[in-house]
Amino acid sequence: MIHSYNSQDKALLAVDCIIFGFDKEELKILLIKRDFEPQKGKWSLMGGFLKRSEDLDQAANRILHHLTGINNVYMEQLYSFSKVNRDPVERTVSVAYYALINTEEHNEELTQQYSAKWFNISEAPELIFDHDKMVKKAISRLRYRTSTMPVGFELLPQKFTMRQLQKMYEAILGEKLDKRNFINKINALDILHKTNEKDMESSKKGSFLYMFDEEKYKRKAADGFSFKL
């Protein structure tokens, strides 16, 4: 029985990381310039190969940290990409992961020793291989996620305005939302705490700052719900 393993076809297993961020205005994606052939110098997702001694989650975290310096980020497994000719060098299957992070919290980690760079989703360059398909798949998953669980805890600063929250949803969904309807829907979720503080940069009167109620947020995320905008 053991000998039958030797007669089977072999393939490389890669892991690619799709990292989304939000800068209070635009949904962004983190990309890196590929430093080896084929397609050296082209923009790419953060990727690498699975080692014998690690599982997929460990590989994703190792690769992301090695290429960007970013550490301790929860990444969710997205999808497997297995077209026979997706990599021109070797038969390679890729498992994609995605994560949502606050760009302000991780900018210090993206020092000059790394070639990683944030791009607005709408302005991102063409990527190598089938990485553009991976990104589209991740955006589709992210948009679906907005209808089944709260979004924003990972992307927004600790305190934020209602406008910033709405801008984040608009950036993810790729469409403008009615302000009154959005506020009513968000308030109905009962996951926000209104502070007495104001952001005075947004207007002369200022805008109240909100915080997520972490306990309620996590409960909603775990239980799921229907949230149509």
What are the tens digits of pLDDT across the range 68-99? 999 889 999 999 999 999 999 999 999 999 99
Q: Which of 116, 148, 180 is the last residue of a domain?
A: 148
Does residue 60 surpass a pLDDT of 90?
A: yes
List the one residue out of 210, 179, 185, 206 whose CA is nearest residue 195.
210
What is the pLDDT confidence band of residue 23, given thresholds at 50, 70 and 90?
confident
Verify cis geometry, omega within 30 degrees of 0, for the bond prior to 38.
yes
What are the tens digits of pLDDT across the range 144-164? 999 898 889 989 999 999 999
What are the tens digits of pLDDT across the range 167-203? 999 999 999 999 999 999 999 999 999 999 999 887 7
Whether residue 209 lies inside any domain: the answer is yes
Say which CATH number the domain at 216 has.
1.10.10.10
- Length of the chain, please? 229
Task: For residue 1, give the 3-state DSSP assignment.
Answer: coil
Residue appearing with tokens 């403008």: 176
Decide: 34 and 44 in contact? Cβ < 8 Å: yes
Let me know if 156 is exposed, middle or buried by CB neighbors in 10 A (0-12, 13-18, 19+).
Answer: buried
User: In terms of domains, do 105 and 181 share one?
Assistant: no
What is the pLDDT confidence band of residue 206, given thresholds at 50, 70 and 90?
confident
What is the pLDDT confidence band of residue 109, given thresholds at 50, 70 and 90?
low
List the one residue out of 215, 167, 225 whose CA is nearest residue 192.
215
User: In terms of domains, do 20 and 124 share one?
Assistant: yes
| Domains identified in the chain, total number | 2
Structural domain of 168: 160-223
